[in-house]
Chain A
Amino acid sequence: MLIEKFNPLEDEMIQVLNEEGDIIRPEWMPEISDEEVLSLFRTMQKTRAIDSIALSLQRQGRMLTYAASLGQEAAQVGSGYALKKTDWAVPAFRELGMWLTKGWSVDKILQYWYGNEWGSHTGEDLRLLPISVPISSQFQHAVGIGMSIRLKGENDVVMAYTGDGGTSQGDFHEAMNFAGVYRTPNVFVIQNNQYAISVPVVIQTASKNLAMKALAYGMPGILVDGNDLFAVLAVSQQAVAYARETGPVLIEAYTYRMGAHTTSDDPTKYRTDDEVDPWKEKDPLLRVEKYLIKKNLLKQEEIEAMKEALEEEVMEAYRSIEHSSDTEIEEIFSYHYEKMTPQLQDQLDEYRNYLKGAASDGK
């Protein structure tokens, strides 16, 4: 298996699909049908459609702070697709492609970013945890789910995500260490997009790569081209199989954050176009697009039509939540405990009384 043979100390990176859209390592090509490739391509396009619509809505004042996934679609979709429906996914906050793959609906995703807690009510039968903003804290939960899977004798896998910045947190190390000790069925995915806001990865670590950190916790670590859908999928499938049978694995998906950290960020303050431009040629969608066109599975016009249809679908989802998403006052209070405490009840009553009075004062 790739996973066991791979030596992250050698600092090599797994690649299957090159920038021309050619398969350079057929022996590693995951076993997927053409229909599946098309469907993954579509999900990557959808990821991009959501990003582009969210960013334009944000500029119009119809969306709040938003963290785009631009450039990281292959890392997200490829890893997420390796999971079964019964496997768990534990996100950070920049895994849009994985969320879609796992089944979080577009309207819910947009509702979250548009500032309503209902967005995190991801759905009863979805084994996907909500976004976790405190960096790498979610790794611990992923390990706990993994421990419980072992204890309950279940056969599921837990895939957890963080960023390159996330590897600096104590929580990251503590979780990885637990996973190593308890041999939990965890796959840890680091999307190394080279930045934590303005801070480049060389300031996060003096390690040559992030995958090698796995060795110290007694688990395999593998470095994969995060802009290569097939490589990410191949590595993730193997990692998931390994986690299910044997124990935890760490994947470093080497990629690049093409856009700003969030809509509040201005990357021109800390990086140059000279640095960004070469990454445009490594675009993860472009590669799959070239592959599909060469294989005669898709035509350029069809891609344009797909994009348009997806953008319309996303706008539709947005319109469904745009006006209906103001929080009900009672909901601010009623979800903290199974039953509202007397204190909360008092505060709710007092606030409602105030509003009633203010309304009758004509204010």
Chain B
Amino acid sequence: MANKINIVQAVQQALQNEMALDPTVVVYGEDVGVEGGVFRATVGLQQEFGKERAFDTPLAESAIVGSAIGMAINGMKPVVEIQFMGFIYPAVNQIVSHAARYRNRTRGLRHLPMVIRAPYGGGIRALEHHSESTEALFAHIPGLKVVIPSTPYDTKGLLIAAIRDPDPVLFLEPKRIYRAFRQDVPEEAYTLPIGKAKVLQEGDDVTVVTWGAMVPDVQKAVSGIEELSIEVIDLRTISPMDRETIIESVEKTGRILVVHEAAKSFGAGAEIIAVVNEKAFLSLEAPPMRLTGFDTTFPLPRGEEHYIPSPERIRHKIRELAAY
């Protein structure tokens, strides 16, 4: 049975399915229980599964993540929410020093089946610190997986995969498109592979790699270019990166553009292009290009329209790359 749902509803449904199937799954964070999350991503879970399994916590991100580590050590599968990605930083010590390392430092004795969910990204005219896209910070940390879906279907399948994954997964949700569109999604639980990109449209002239909330913008940009045959790849997992899909595509097109919302320097685009240079250098017909956020703090709303690459800018950049 399918239902037509948006991304935030897909998050809720994934959690609901997994909590029903697996009694070790628990969901917690700030405003997650009674209110059902400030974005309503956990709505109804406390009613259905009780205060023991879906609950509100004190306002303390380090304790939210740190306690999830403890829960995971003792056989639970915590799925914790960080209210906005900009508020994950108090928990970075727990994420980087512990969550990412447990398996390695105990030589596999202890591993952490836990998920940290956080809405990320800007473009919603939000307050300071509410528009962060710092996926590259975490993708850089060995031992973490970083997933960013862009559709309701992928959100549900990838979140369930993340919950079932034996290792910690940072699951970043594109809040700008939380409610942008609906899709037919199976009501039952299903998984999609973490670490696998998706080719959204095939093409021969240019490869565009993107993820998260930028995916619809890239699709819009591409739909306005008739003269070129463009391959669009939704990366879906930032780390571990699906190198094969990217390489295969660049070997065909010889041209690659990476579009991301995060700041340019040292971003995930740099890693993608490095991989292309290592594995497909001889196929390149033009220098790899990036179109990204600026190397600046995300501007407050009166300046934010400049920051996120618009479909028009993306189109312009694709043409520049094709003409090179």
Interface residues of A (CB under 8 A from B): 64-65, 114-117, 131, 133-135, 165-166, 168-171, 196-199, 203-205, 264-265, 269-270, 325-327, 329, 331-333, 336, 341, 343-344, 347-348, 351, 354, 357-358, 363
Contact = CB atoms under 8 A, between A and B. Distances in A.
B35 A205 contact: no
A166 B59 contact: yes
A327 B313 contact: no
B229 interface: no
Interface in B113-140: 125-130
B156 to A, nearest CB: 24
28 contacts: A64-B125, A64-B126, A64-B301, A116-B300, A116-B302, A117-B303, A134-B89, A135-B59, A135-B87, A165-B58, A165-B59, A168-B63, A169-B60, A171-B90, A196-B59, A197-B35, A198-B31, A199-B30, A203-B56, A203-B57, A265-B38, A329-B306, A332-B294, A332-B306, A336-B296, A343-B264, A343-B265, A344-B294
B59 A270 contact: no
A65 B303 contact: no
Given A133-B128, A197-B31, A341-B295, A332 B59 contact: no
Interface residues of B, number: 40
Contact of A326 (B31, B38, B90, B302): B302
Interface in B225-265: 264-265
Contacts of A354: 313, 316
Contact of A169 (B56, B59, B294, B297): B59
- The majority secondary structure among interface residues of chain B is loop
B307 interface: yes
Interface in B32-70: 34-36, 38, 56-60, 62-63
Contacts of B300: 115-117, 327
Given A64-B127, A203-B56, A354-B316, A347 B264 contact: yes
B306 A325 contact: no
B38 A168 contact: no
Contacts of A327: 299-300, 302-303, 306
Q: Which 3 residue pairs of A and B lie closest in terms of their CB atoms, listed nearest first?
A: A327-B303, A115-B301, A168-B58
Given A115-B304, A325-B302, 16 more contacts: A65-B127, A115-B300, A115-B303, A116-B302, A133-B86, A133-B130, A168-B59, A203-B56, A203-B57, A205-B58, A265-B38, A327-B299, A327-B303, A332-B299, A332-B307, A354-B313
Contacts of B188: none
A198 B56 contact: yes
Centre residue among B57, B294, B316 by max chain A CB count within 10 A? B294
A257 B283 CA distance: 62
A336 B316 CA distance: 28
Given A170-B62, A269-B35, A358 B90 contact: no
Contacts of A325: 302
Contacts of B60: 168-170
Contacts of B62: 170
Contacts of A134: 86-87, 89-90, 129
Given A115-B301, A131-B128, A332-B296, A358 B58 contact: no
Contacts of A332: 294, 296, 299, 303, 306-307
